[in-house]
Structure 1
């Protein structure tokens, strides 16, 4: 199993220290997100990371088709490839907090897929058409893997058709992962490809704690944010039990995007999942929490289900200590 991990950058002195520890702990990929109202620009952050690391892949998980024209994204991606020596990966989704916080609607499935195709073509030196305009990058394009974050059947099939990889949320159960892979495979087949042509990564909260309940309690706001994102357009085809559908709809109505991905300030969002009775189901699909031995056993079960690439979130009080604990005490037990 390979592990990636990420952070949201708000202070570059802190980020430098974070990068040094993350590199020392052996993570395969280091990521950040794209939400301009909540943290630093991801291209700037990863350019900084490229200068401070040597071997780790660097990924944006994820950007969107609305705040950056595809020609702008392709140019920035090529620049990062040059700076990093080809280590950069660009993830794209329809858009969540980055758009909610500036009053812009998310991209549709078709818009997002077209955006992925366009950026992918431009970084490969090809021509593309975006909203009726012919595009080409006339300065040193650099081939960039473009991934899609996908949850529902339509988006999963689009990712299978058009992306180089897929980022999955709420997929840590065997049933959910198998269902999602089937949709990706359908899309890949439409483009004459197979699952072997795509890189699949799953998002996961891993929280070492005295008990599973204590660990889950630390990431309740993250569970709320994941649910708000995964089910923001529809609950259909995503494995949600019918009894939980009205509860998720209520969560979406009351979710506060100004504190998305900020556990330290998101008490309102954290309280929602408990109040609505969603905590257990959401945690079961996205979170590994509890004593070290239990976390290692759960990760081994997840690997047995076929999941081999995990992006480990760091919504914990002390990210530096978490990275060392995870590498030294959890990952070492999987060897």
Structure 2
């Protein structure tokens, strides 16, 4: 059982660095951030770049793992991304995890001037993006002529600190994405079943997550992957429970215990942001960080 946090990149660094340092002091396993150009209700407010923010976080912490949750092809190309990730892995001393997903249809999908991709187009790009990024982070020189992405003698020297490369946490709700997680991931990420995020009940959500885990295990078996070696991460805030688990330590312990029992290995909660969908009492957040796992054990 692991407990991690997400710190959205909405703070100027003079304030933000304290939040990242506090996450380490509170004992979180990993501190992630969203890799978006902006996001939903935060679109008209401050929003800083994920990779520079994580680089700065690496320089003011020494133990906590760091990561994106998640990076996507919406505005990233595997070749320059691989260079930036290799550098970030080096600067952090091998503490970086790449959360990676197919992307959505929000602001990121059109910010570069393109028309939004259909779900099938996003899946097609993701299916090419992940294997190419895997190669770029493990091979010294990569050439690739693909449908969506190309590389010509792209170099990755000296490579990642973590070997054979930094870990991938692949976000996926459907079978195509789960196959990518089984083939290339060290972890799989879920936010629950998006079909019932607004209309379902907590019980229906847990049933759906359990079904996702069983499907992931079936796909691992089909691909020859040992499912026990693939961590399962739940990013909270998007199930029908809403913000309820953050109302008290007891509420979170009940929520987390039910999901750990399903087979989830790591639960990720949002660092509170007042007057937003991630508003929560700072004292409750800190108490969860310090005491929740001990109660669950």
How does the TM-score come out when normalised to structure 1? 0.69
**Deviating runs (4+, > 6 A) in structure 1?**
none
Shift in CA distance, 53/293, structure 1 to aligned 2, threshold 3 Å: same
User: Quick one: structure 1 residues 90 and 53, their matched pair in 2 at CA, closer, same or farther if it must change by over 3 Å?
Assistant: same
Q: SS in structure 1 opposite 2:155? A: coil
Pair 1:66–1:128, CA change in 2 (3 A): farther
Cα drift, residue 76 of structure 1: 0.6
2:256 maps to 1:299: yes
Match of 1:82 in 2: 90
In the alignment, which residue of structure 2 is the partner of 1:149? Answer: 171
Contact 1:156 1:180 in 2 (8 A): no
Residue of structure 2 in register with 1:123 after alignment: 137
2:57 corresponds to? 49
Q: CA deviation at 1:136?
A: 3.1
Aligned length: 260
Q: Distance in 2 between matches of 1:298 and 1:182?
A: 20
CA displacement at 1:316 relative to structure 2:
4.4
Conserved 8 A contact 2:233-2:268: yes
Over 3 Å counting, the alpha-carbon distance change for 1:298 and 1:163 in structure 2 is: closer
What secondary structure is seen at the aligned counterpart in 1 of 2:180? Answer: helix
Matches within 5 A, 1:71-110: 71-96=79-104, 97-100=106-109, 102=111, 103-104=113-114, 105-106=116-117, 108-110=122-124
Aligned to 2:266: 309
CA distance in 1, matches of 2:181, 2:89: 22
* 1:70 Cα deviation from its structure 2 partner: 0.2
Q: Unmatched 5+ residue regions in structure 2?
A: 194-201, 275-279
Unpaired runs of 5+ in structure 1? Answer: 206-225, 227-281
Q: Rate the CA distance shift 1:328–1:95 in 2: closer, same or farther, 3 A.
A: same
Q: Is the 8 A contact 2:130 2:180 kept in 1?
A: no
- Aligned counterpart, 1:6: 6
TM-score (norm 2): 0.78
- Provide the alpha-carbon RMSD of the alignment: 2.6
User: Which protein is richer in helix relative to its size?
Assistant: 1
